[in-house]
Amino acid sequence: MTGQVFRNGAGGRIDRTVPLSFTFDGKNYQGFQGDTLASALLANGVRVVGRSFKYHRPRGILGAGFEEPNALVQLGDGARTEPNTQATRVELFDGLTATSQNRWPSLQFDISAINGLFHRLLPAGFYYKTFMAPANLWMTYEKIIRRAAGMGRAPTQMDPDIYARRFAHCNVLVIGGGPAGVSAALAAGQSGARVILAEDNPQLSVSETELADMDNVTVLTRTMAAAYYDHNTLILSERIADHKPAPAPFETRQRMWKVRAQQVVLATGALERPLVFPNNDRPGVMLASAAQCYAADFAVRAGNQAVVFTNNDSAYGAARDMKAAGIDIAAIIDTRPEISDSTRELATNTKVLTGHAIIDVASGRGGATRGVTLKAIHPDTGAPKGSPIDIACDVVAMSGGWNPTIHLFSQSKGKIKYDGARAAFVPGQSFQQERSIGAANGTFDHEACIIEGHNAGAAAARDVGFDAPDARTSPSGIPPAAQPLWSAPTGAKRFVDFQNDVTADDIGLAYREGYQSVEHLKRYTTLGMGTDQGRTSNVNGLAIMADHRRLDIPEVGTTTFRPPFSPITLGGIAGWHTGQNFEATRQSAMSAWHEAQGATFSNAGLWRRPEYYPRTGMTPAEAVHHEARHVREKVGVVDVSTLGKIDVQGRDALEFLSRVYINNLTKLPVGKCRYGVMLREDGFVFDDGTITRLAEMRFLVTTTTTHAGPVMTHLEYLAQVQWPELDVHLLSVSEDWAGIAIAGPNSRTLLSQLFQDVDFANEAFPFMGYRETNAGGVPVRLFRISFSGEHAYELNVPADYGLNFWTALLETGADLDVIPYGTEAMNILRIEKGHVTGAELNGRVTADDLGFAGMMSKLKPFVGQVLARRDALTAKGRRQLVGLVPADGETPIPAGAQILADPDAPPPEFTPAAILGEVTSNCYSPALGHPIGLGLVEDGSDRHGDTLYAHSPITSETVAITLTNPVFVDPAGGRLHG
Amino acid sequence: MSRYSIFSLARNALTGHRNWPKAWRSPNPKPAYDVIIIGGGGHGLATAYYLAKNHGVTNIAVLEKGWLGGGNTGRNTTIVRSNYALPGNTLFYEHSLKLWEGLSQDLNFNVMFSQRGVINLAHSDGQRDAYKRRGNVMRINGIDAEYLDRDEVADMVPLLDTSPDARYPVKGGLLQPRAGTARHDAVAWGYARSADSYGVDIIQNCEVTGIDIENGRAVGVQTTRGAIKAAKIGTAVAGHTGHLGAMAGLRLPFETHVLQAMVSEPLKPCLDMVVTSGVAHAYISQSDKGELVFGGDLDFYPTYAQRGNFPRIEEVVETMLTMFPTFSRVRLMRSWGGVIDMTMDGSPIICKTPIDGFYIDGGWCYGGFKATPGSGWVFAHTIANDQPHELNERFTLKRFETGAVIDERGAGATAHAH
């Protein structure tokens, strides 16, 4: 079956030897290699391709490229489905499926077209004026509105395709592979400059073998320049596999290029403007340039009989090409009272009606165009006069003049200006190292474009030091004479924004109601807010507003063009960096071992940490309690590799750390550790950890896992910016050393067996002592420090040996009944000991709040010291760290509970509820045999023994609690020191 | 003010909508007013409205350098919520939310406040507890909050990746059912129309170039449309508060940063809630038009440029797709930036200043939109009575001196950290 009744037997850039099958709305059609979906649909005589957003009017193909507002389809199905795809930019492939959008149950019969009947009730912004009563019904109204809105459907399956990113640098980046762009790339390339030329189409519009032969020129086709950012950074979106049914295995679907260019040449062309006249949205009404493109490039007749409607000369060329393709040109309707002889010559043997305008478009079956009605118009006012003339046609090819594609120029922060002769906005002053050329610059003459391109490419190369060819002289460019007619006489709906159903009357309403600024107009009427970003509506819309306001167009201004130029996939932006690759996963040297033991994991920053090791016959909670109890009774080992570690060296290392920590460190000898706290500049606690003096001028400091990065940044800032005079050098060594804590009464025996050359006697290696040894040549650092409150050590070995030492500890300690424990048990042990961590170090506590006041040295200045003296940080009533136990000795303390004296107090109006504090940590204590917790409570240090309530309405729990000393286990510290 | 309703729509339909009056007048500035509000965004217009409505002050000019609502009112992601944990914030934002709940009727302008719920996702036990802690503060203060487990989150947000082997598995989330979104432009227009009906002069394209101070007292402003006198002057100019303060000789504790936001192409309904991630900073919802609306962190360099750069967009999209992987083939339609004044604790400043008769309302950081009604309400009170309302008495400039900061994130005195 050859249903391509509108396809000519010869001509065009299609390959008739490769027929392709595709479906639209489930119906089978044929096209050829080289077609777009739009050209293939037209070849098959498909006129109606979608329904409009608001009135659900039938719509046909308006354009042939980026400008298309109507022909948006749901491409493909299943996991590869893609909503809102412009049919004019989809390359046809065999087996392509496409479905129309925004209609139900079918394109031909759409229930919501009933909106058209009520259109009088639905002017621009109608929703701001209604749906307000009764107030509680808005959510119901909204549900209906939401269902009616939207366009295509989001995929609900995982995207099977892969996306890539690439960085590139070049001397000259040329955007646009038309005559001007190719000419610019050629001139720049000839100079030896590194050039990238990006073109959205599958091929350059001029075949240029010389360009392809240049090693210093990269030509990217199927590549759209999406955005122009600071420092001449442009984002290009390359479609590698979208012209195929699916990417080949492991083939990238789209690649996003981030290009830093020394010079940019914008040769982005121009887009034709529609004319605004009654029923100008009927399927069959299209841009003259589109009808011309379909005829010339695809050998497709947009219809059998066309009326060309124009206000400028360019449509005469379109008429000539359409006629050559076999379309009967019933008439050219020109709004201008007179045209030049040369223009008239272009239309020999064609009826030309000057000084006329279309005042209505009649529709036939399915809403498609079947004729137009014209009238003569007054040369000055544009008012229709005389008797109407009917002309039968199935195509109206319209041209309202041309808009240079200045989007990227505007994104670059270049200043645009209005050019009255061209009746268009054109690039003005550049802001970055950029040149706009060709039609993008308002130059519409072919020969002039090539020369302008050559000169710009050469100049760009010269500006960055290349020896480029000389400039050529351009013929004096004469803009096509356009007499703008922004909106034809009133009548039925005259659409300005096709996608969002904004009419000339809507703009009139916005004007009358005072939404007169361009931005108000846009936001009130939704003009230009669609996926086409107002490419066909923007200038017409603001011209109509200017007319209402009796201002010139430049006085009304224009809206900001925002990136991306045309929508780009989110997958393409994210590249590989999603899912598991969203952020790097940091594993300790022992991770695989934990995994093999069946440990569950939690995330701490980028790290994964084992929570506990399951035990047969035990619930998770029992296993955790077993681990904690075992550490207190025997010995356990825990992976603490994730702690931040910073090597601090230099003659002034001690001075530096003295200024950073609140502690007095001057008496810290080599071979000793100290617990340290640092404040932020604002006097609140920043982080805690240990400081170990490895040598006279060398310290190792540890940080919490989550603050490792921020602390390092903080220290670097202080060293580099605040105290550059100090001789101190910082190196993050968190990942160089694996860390293992060995805790419990048997820890000393265990380590003695493993490191027989180290004297572990209390006097030789006391609490807060530090020793170095080596095992088989591997350096080992031993710290006698304890997070659990037990007799304990931490061991650091180079990360590569972490697993060896981990397993050696477990094997050596088998007789001592050593077990591994995870973060859950570690958390219980530290709560039992009253040690603080994340929830207590919440960024709002002072050292005093946590009971560290005594550590604050009065003998030296340190970061945060001054601001820590502020009233609000020292006043009574601050929340202080306390221990919590349930008053009944058994009810668990709810996590995240607030602490109050009266949980039944009614909610307040303006004065905050009397909340005294909050539960920061909670657990069941195996050592004590009952639940415990830590909290921050107003004047908590003075309230030990008081009973308050841990109130958690969100979990419907309220528990009476007694405040205690936060150190539950071994408050005297005998276990640590023994 | 001609009332809007389905009946007035029908009546005007009969005359082809030719008789709708202007939503607000465009008067020329008078030589003097009782109060000048600098900034014709949501906050400034709301302040004028509540000054008129609650305090009977109607001789007011609102001066806007560009077009109404052209700053952050028209550039945000439209999220409205009151899920704050610290005294000072909790009840202020709740009061604002209550005003939102009746705002369309109060203004007779549909601001489309849509209470579709906001979920903050928890990805760790620590976050879970922190959200419960916050939810409990809300509940105790009479604000709705629920803690959802993973399955409940999955039911409400079916396209969210809640699988246990996700990079950051979802453990649950804090839901505020009464929170949601609103139509941002409509808020500015609604307040403008109602303020205008009380006789407030809304003057667009009128940039303030100087503040006149005599004997320690603000007495008027210099503008591009001439000098205007006033007994009291309030500013509500978002990212330019520091700039305005400098005109009055005040050095204010703000840093101005650019925050980007973006929308996808319109889609049929696929996301009912506002969802925010607790891992990387990202928030996402779907507008009534069908666009996915989302944003994340600042660009992290101080600037007055209302445009950002691409690295932040990449990061936000990466986060968004990690949360909602099936949106991979959906396209980004538009992105934009707004400049916001970041304070040293992430909370706003609404107070008198050392200059008599000069008041500031600023420092909204990421979250000014939701505060619009509440901000206007308390700022109007502060200007009318020359003293703060109980709801904003903690939002002072002084708090940085005393240390009584309101730091929800606990991030400290680094403006961009909030």
Q: Closest Cα of chain A to B243: distance in Å?
A: 23
By three-state DSSP, how is residue A177 classified?
A: coil
Q: Does domain A586-642+735-821 have CATH number 3.30.2020.10?
A: no
- Chain A environment of B134 (Cβ under 8 Å): 896
Q: Which of A516, A570, A612, A874 to mutate to test the interface with B (most CBs of B within 10 A)?
A: A570
A579 touching B (Cβ < 8 Å): yes
Q: Per residue in A646-683, pLDDT tens?
A: 999 999 999 999 999 999 999 999 999 999 999 999 99
- Taking only residues 189 to 228 of chain A, the set having a beta carbon closer than 8 angstroms to any beta carbon of chain B reads 227
What distance in Å separates the CA atoms of residue B54 and residue B56, rounded to the nearest whole number?
Answer: 6
Q: Which residue out of A66, A85, A132, A515 would a mutagenesis test of the B interface target, given it has the greatest number of B Cβ atoms within 10 Å?
A: A132
Cβ of B403 within 8 Å of Cβ of A872? The answer is: yes
User: Torsion-angle region of residue B17: left (phi > 0), alpha (psi -120 to 50) or beta?
Assistant: left
- Smallest Cα distance from B328 to chain A, Å: 4
**Do β-strands B208-214 and B274-277 pair in parallel, antiparallel, or remain unpaired?**
unpaired
Interface check for A166 against chain B (CB to CB < 8 A): the answer is no
Nearest by CB: B331 against A568, A844, A873: A568
The nearest CA of chain B is from the CA of A318 a distance in Å of: 31
For chain A, the maximum distance between any two Cα atoms, rounded to a whole number of angstroms, is 116
Torsion of Cα atoms, B120 then B125 then B127 then B133, to 10°:
100
CA distance A83 to B330: 7
In contact, A482 and A442? CB cutoff 8 Å:
no
Range list for CATH 2.40.30.110 in chain A = 877-977
Q: Looking at the complex, does the CB of residue B28 fall below 8 Å from at least one CB of chain A?
A: no
Query: Does B164 reach chain A within 8 Å, measured CB to CB?
Result: no
For residue A126, give the nearest of B9, B87, B140 by CB distance.
Answer: B9
Gap between the Cα atoms of B46 and B89, Å rounded: 19
Q: Among B61, B99, B310, B13, which Cα is nearest to B206's?
A: B61
Look at B326 and A150 and tell me if their CB atoms are within 8 Å. no
Cβ–Cβ gap B136/A150 under 8 Å: no
Nearest chain A CA: its distance from B57 CA (Å): 24
| Rounded-to-integer distance, Cα A320 and Cα A536, Å | 23
Q: Please give the average pLDDT of every successive group of 10 residues along chain B, which has 418 residues.
A: 91 91 96 98 98 98 96 96 97 98 97 97 95 98 98 98 94 98 98 98 98 97 98 96 96 96 97 91 95 96 94 96 97 96 96 98 96 98 98 97 96 88
Provide the ipTM.
0.96
Interface membership of A126 toward B (CB under 8 Å): yes
Contact, A601 vs A611, CB < 8 A?
A: yes
What integer best gives the mean pLDDT of chain A? 94
CB < 8 Å to A823, chain B:
none
Residue A474: which pLDDT band, with cuts at 50, 70 and 90?
low
Cα separation of B59 and B61, whole Å?
A: 7
Indicate yes or no: CB of B114 within 8 angstroms of CB of A568. no
**Which amino acid belongs to residue A755?**
F
Write out the CATH class of domain A275-399. alpha beta
The type of residue at A557 is G
At A459 the pLDDT is 97
Q: How far is CA A325 from CA A292, A422, A432, B66, B240, in A?
A: 9, 29, 44, 51, 60
Is the separation of the CB atoms in A476 and A450 below 8 Å? Answer: no
| A569 in contact with B, Cβ within 8 Å | yes
CB within 8 Å: B91 and A513: no
**Cβ–Cβ < 8 Å for B342, B416:** yes
Whole-number pLDDT of residue A488? 59
Amino acid at A273: R
Token duo for residue A154: 């989001």
Residues of B (217-246) whose Cβ lies below 8 Å from A = none
- Report residue B280 as tokens: 């990387």
- Alpha carbon A340 to chain centroid distance? 52
Q: Does the N-terminal peptide bond of residue A105 adopt cis geometry, omega within 30 degrees of 0?
A: yes
Of the candidates A121, A128, A149, the beta carbon closest to that of B109 is on A128
Of residues A580, A683, A912, nearest to B141 (C-beta): A912
Q: Give, in order, the Cα–Cα distances in Å from A454 to each of A182, A267, A279, A395.
A: 8, 11, 43, 38
Architecture field, domain A161-272+402-482+570-582: 3-Layer(bba) Sandwich (3.50)
Q: What is the pLDDT of residue A423?
A: 87
Closest residue in A to B328 (Cα) is A571
CA atoms within 13 A on the CB side of A688: 21
Chain B's closest residue to A145, CA to CA, is: B288
A391-445 pLDDT tens trace: 999 999 999 999 999 999 999 999 999 998 888 999 999 999 999 999 999 999 9
Tens digit of each residue's pLDDT (9 = 90 or more) over A727-741: 999 999 999 999 999
Question: Which fold does the domain A877-977 belong to in CATH?
Answer: Elongation Factor Tu (Ef-tu); domain 3 (2.40.30)
Q: Which of B114, B147, B410 shows the shortest C-beta gap to A955? A: B147
Cβ(A651)–Cβ(A742) below 8 Å: no
Report how many Cβ contacts below 8 Å link chain A to chain B: 345
Shortest Cα distance from A135 to chain B (angstroms)?
7
A902 touches B: beta carbon within 8 Å:
no
Spell out which residues of chain B touch residue A897, defining contact as CB-CB under 8 Å. 132-133, 136
| Chosen from B128, B268, B327 to mutate, greatest number of chain A CBs within 10 A | B268
Q: Which of A519, A921, A954 to mutate to test the interface with B (most CBs of B within 10 A)?
A: A954
DSSP H or E run through A447: helix A446-463
Q: Which residues of A touch B136 (CB under 8 A)?
A: 896-898, 951-954
pLDDT for res A485? 63
Indicate whether A478 pLDDT > 70.
no
Specify which residues B340 forms β-bridges with.
Answer: B257
CA dihedral angle for residue B241, residue B245, residue B251, residue B256, rounded to 10 degrees = 20
What is the CATH number that goes with domain A644-733?
A: 3.30.70.1400
Q: What burial letters (b/e) apply to A12-24, b meaning 16+ CB within 10 Å?
A: bebeeeeebebeb
DSSP run (H or E) holding A463: helix A446-463
Domain(s) of CATH 1.10.10.1100: residues in chain A: 485-551
| DSSP single-letter state for residue A438 | G
Whether the bond between A134 and the residue before it is cis, its omega within 30 degrees of 0, is: yes
Contacts of A596 (CB under 8 A, 6+ apart): none
> Which segments of chain A belong to CATH 3.30.1360.120?
586-642+735-821
User: CA of A112, closest CA in chain B: separation in Å?
Assistant: 15
Is B329 part of the contact surface with chain A (CB cutoff 8 Å)?
yes
Those residues whose C-beta lies under 8 Å from the C-beta of residue A906, and which sit 6 or more positions away, are none
Share of chain A above pLDDT 90, in %: 88
Q: What are the backbone dihedrals phi and psi of residue A974, each rounded to the nearest 5 degrees, phi first?
A: -60, -40
B55 half-sphere exposure, CB direction, 13 A CA radius = 24
Contact criterion met (CB below 8 Å) for A85 and A567: no
CA of A758, closest CA in chain B: separation in Å?
A: 39
pLDDT in tens, A376-397: 998 888 888 899 999 999 999 9
Element spanning B295, H or E: strand B291-302
Q: Phi-psi region for residue B399, left (φ > 0), alpha (ψ -120 to 50) or beta?
A: alpha
Q: Kindly report the backbone phi and psi dihedral angles of residue B165, in degrees, each rounded to the nearest multiple of 5, phi listed first.
A: -100, 20
A773 and chain B in contact, CB less than 8 A: no
C-alpha span between A452 and A444 (Å, rounded): 11
Radius of gyration, alpha carbons of chain A = 38
Q: What is the pLDDT of residue A483?
A: 62
Task: Give the whole-angstrom CA distance, residue A318 versus residue A406.
Answer: 23
A50, A52, A53, A51: which is closest to A37 by C-alpha?
Answer: A50
Q: Does domain A1-159 have CATH number 3.90.1300.10?
A: no
Looking up tokens 């044929």, which residue turns up? Answer: A30
Spatial CB neighbours of A480, under 8 Å, sequence gap ≥ 6: A312, A313, A314, A401, A402, A422, A444
The segment(s) of chain A belonging to CATH 3.10.20.440 are 1-159
Q: Residues near A653 by Cβ (< 8 Å), separated by ≥ 6?
A: A697, A698, A699, A728
Task: List every span in chain A annotated with CATH 3.50.50.60.
Answer: 161-272+402-482+570-582, 275-399
pLDDT digits (tens, 9 = 90+) for A224-246: 999 999 999 999 999 999 999 99
- The verdict on a CB contact (< 8 Å) between A514 and B139 is no
Kindly report the pTM of this predicted structure.
Answer: 0.96
pLDDT band at A105 (very low <50, low <70, confident <90, very high): confident
Is pLDDT above 50 for A1? no
Q: Which chain B residue is nearest to residue A257, measuring alpha carbons?
A: B310
- What kind of fold does domain A485-551 have according to CATH? Arc Repressor Mutant, subunit A (1.10.10)
The CB-side HSE value for A266 (13 A sphere, CA atoms) comes to 31
**Chain A interface, best mutation among B178, B310, B395, by max A CB count within 10 A:** B310
- Asked if pLDDT for residue A846 goes beyond 60, the answer is yes
Q: In a mutagenesis test of the A interface, which of B136, B143, B317 is the best target, namely the one with the most A β-carbons within 10 Å?
A: B136
The identity of residue A28, as a single letter, is N
A511/B contact by beta carbon, under 8 A: no
Q: Which DSSP symbol is given to B349?
A: E
Has residue A111 got a pLDDT over 50? yes
Q: Report CA dihedral (A153, A158, A160, A165) to the nearest 10 degrees.
A: 90
Q: Supply the pLDDT for residue A366.
A: 84
- Beta strand residue intervals within A696-806, DSSP E: 698-703, 729-732, 737-743, 770-775, 778-783, 792-798
> CB contact, 8 Å: A669 with chain B?
no
pLDDT surpasses 80 at A117: no
Q: Does B133 touch chain A (CB under 8 A)?
A: yes
CA distance A477 to A448: 7
Interface test with A, best of B300, B330, B389, B394 (most A CBs within 10 A): B330
